[in-house]
Structure 1
Amino acid sequence: MRALLVVNPRATTTTERSRDVLVRALESAVDLTVRYTERRGHATTLARDAAESGIDVVVTLGGDGTVNEAVNGLMSAPGTLTGLTGPSAYRLPALAVVPGGSTNVFARALGLPENWVYGTSVILDGLRDGRHRVIGLGRADDRYFTFTAGLGLDAAVIRRVEQARLRGRTSTPGLYMRSIVGQFFTGIERSDPPMTLERPGEPPQTGLGTVIIQNTAPWTYAGDRPVDPNPDASFDLGLDVLALRKLKVYATAKTVTQLAWRSGDPHGKQVVRLHDLAEFTVIASRPQAFQLDGDYLGERQKVHFVSVPSALRVIC
């Protein structure tokens, strides 16, 4: 079995020594090639080239951003592994994820241990036993995501966090909370929600101030605690949505409290929750911050979302 290990050398929870240990462990199970990412988007190129060359498994060591890039590389490659038709999960290399970032939502949603050592052990067992899981993905226009997407407030918060990290700040729950408060009170127009969600054959949901999309549960983690506005979201179903209407202080604080203390049960007049959607479009009257899998991707005024079933095989 041939495998490519894609390493993000800036992964926050690993060291050069630990990466060497991982390489030796994987070499005991597969014919391994190791490549290091050099820039944003590089993992996409590496994974696509690996798929086109007939690699059996792509392993990532990094955070959710590295995983997202590798997934997009695999999904943009022609199905060269077996020559079969049908869902891409059976035509493309499998994916294995070694958690190396600060949050690792995707790996944890798959049930993998957060610690990279234990995660590696699970992956090695899966490779040796031929064990995998087939999952669905989300697609936003022409880019895939594994666990979440967002327009509006949550994406703007991620933008703030990324800017703080560029200034040397460490990604912590406290940094996210301060970014939420700062963005909410100074960075958005709360009285004029600009977004509309349109579904085929359904009346539009208008006047939305933020839209969060889930491809699985939980949505994210606050330290060790899952934050789960749509607990029925699943890799095996369509996309789930949590949207908020006018971002008034009291109503938004109430929803945040519900998420913090009654995870999975946000409710109220300002809350829109939709389950197992095959496709929908979000349209905004002015540009909105946009994120996929926790990476800020600029601003958008229109994004078409699609659920892609049986998209990927994952070793877990």
Structure 2
Amino acid sequence: MRALMILNPNSTTQSSELLREILPALFAIERLSLFVRFTQHPQHAEEMVSGLTRTDFDLIIVLGGDGTVNEVINGLLGSAETENPHPATLPKLAVIPTGSANVLVRALGFSADPVEAVHVLARLIEKDISRTICLGTWNKRWFGVNAGFGLDADVLAQVDRVREQGFAATPFRYMMVTARAVLRARKNPPKINVSATSRQGEEILLDEVPVLLASNTNPWTFLGPLPVGTNPANSFDEGLSLFGVTDISGFGGLIGVLRLFGVDNQKVLSRISSARIINFDSASTATLSCPTPHRFQADGESEGKLTKVVLRSVPDAVEIYAPRSARPVHERSLREMVRDFIRVF
């Protein structure tokens, strides 16, 4: 088995010490020939894998975060506007989490600890246990976890500025940046027009929604140990889910916005915010538009300011090594959520 391993040296937790713990587990896999390449600049991983097929490599191992995984997916699959390659013709994927959130790999059931994750991954590769998953597209590009206009994109842009100033993107800083972004959004909310169709033929049409997020899995992100989910029925097998808030004014609007970031998943305050919440699952296509340019993000990476995005769900898009699915967020007890919330601080 020929495997290409892509390392992002700028990922937040990579070090030579970590590599000394990770590589032996991979070298111990029988019949595995490992080729290692380092990314040198943004989009380098995408360039490395562009045009590769399973005749070149049986497996691509990504050592990095969601951004590097996103690049590899886009490199392998090419433009989302062309015919999608069959997953059997592409190298299988494997991910060892070394980013800040590592949403995709953790949502697949892996530990956030890269050493624990690589030992599970090694057993999966030895037994050839993999699954195909849905992916999302936005215009010509692909995403694996989430995409959105407005509030979540503004938060990620602010976090990028924090990183540029030399500070780590800790869960606490995410929460502080989020609080400021919510206050700004309540003063001048975005106006997102939404048109979506589900796999079952159901349709939704909404005008001037201030908060809208599309997710490809549940949870859609993590705050340290705390999984953040919005659509309990969502998974890598069910298409895209849309979560939105129609009105963010007043206390009910605030609770609705906080639902986006994992507050009140137990729906203790659902009577206050339920009338403002949009939950639309199994979307096959969705069109999001704004009268003025707003920030857009995909898989946690800012994609600039746009006025229109067409989203699409592509079933069985790529094959990836993964254990059994992790326990859904909505099955977590209130005690577990309070415990993890405290750990964030």
TM-based fold match above 0.5? yes
Q: How many Å separate the matches in 2 of 1:269 and 1:292?
A: 28
Task: Map 1:1-316 onto structure 2 (within 5 A).
Answer: 1-29=1-29, 30-51=32-53, 54-76=56-78, 88-186=86-184, 188=185, 190=187, 193-199=190-196, 202=203, 204-258=205-259, 260-263=262-265, 265=267, 267-316=273-322
Counterpart residue number, 2:331: none
1:206 aligned partner, one-letter code: D
1:297 aligned partner, one-letter code: E
**Could you tell me whether the CA contact under 8 Å between 2:293 and 2:305 is conserved in 1?**
yes
After superposition, the C-alpha distances for 1:98-146 in whole angstroms (9 at most, x for unaligned) are 0001211111100011111111111111111111011110111111111
How far the C-alpha of 1:185 sits from its partner, in A, is: 2.5
After superposition, the C-alpha distances for 1:260-289 in whole angstroms (9 at most, x for unaligned) are 443275642322111101101001111111
Secondary structure at the residue paired with 1:204? strand
With the length of structure 2 as denominator, give the TM-score of the two structures: 0.83
Percent identity for Structure 1 against Structure 2: 31
After superposition, the C-alpha distances for 1:8-64 in whole angstroms (9 at most, x for unaligned) are 001222311222443343233211110111111111111225438611100011111
After superposition, the C-alpha distances for 1:229-283 in whole angstroms (9 at most, x for unaligned) are 1111111111100012233252332124555443275642322111101101001
**Could you tell me whether the CA contact under 8 Å between 1:140 and 1:306 is conserved in 2?**
yes
Change (3 A) 1:166 1:11: same
Q: How many Å separate the matches in 1 of 2:78 and 2:223?
A: 32
Q: How many Å separate the matches in 2 of 1:31 and 1:257?
A: 47
Change (3 A) 1:87 1:233: farther
Secondary structure at the residue paired with 1:268? helix
Change (3 A) 1:3 1:250: same
Q: How many Å separate the matches in 1 of 2:277 and 2:291?
A: 20
Change (3 A) 1:191 1:159: closer
Change (3 A) 1:32 1:203: closer
Could you tell me which runs of 5 or more consecutive residues in structure 1 were left unpaired when the two chains were aligned.
Answer: 78-84
Counterpart residue number, 2:341: none
Question: Could you tell which deviates more after superposition, 229-238 or 190-199?
Answer: 190-199
**Could you tell me whether the CA contact under 8 Å between 1:228 and 1:264 is conserved in 2?**
no
2:33 aligned partner, one-letter code: D
In angstroms, what is the RMSD of aligned CA positions? 2.3
Could you tell me which runs of 5 or more consecutive residues in structure 2 were left unpaired when the two chains were aligned.
Answer: 323-345
1:103 aligned partner, one-letter code: A
Change (3 A) 1:191 1:229: same
Counterpart residue number, 2:339: none
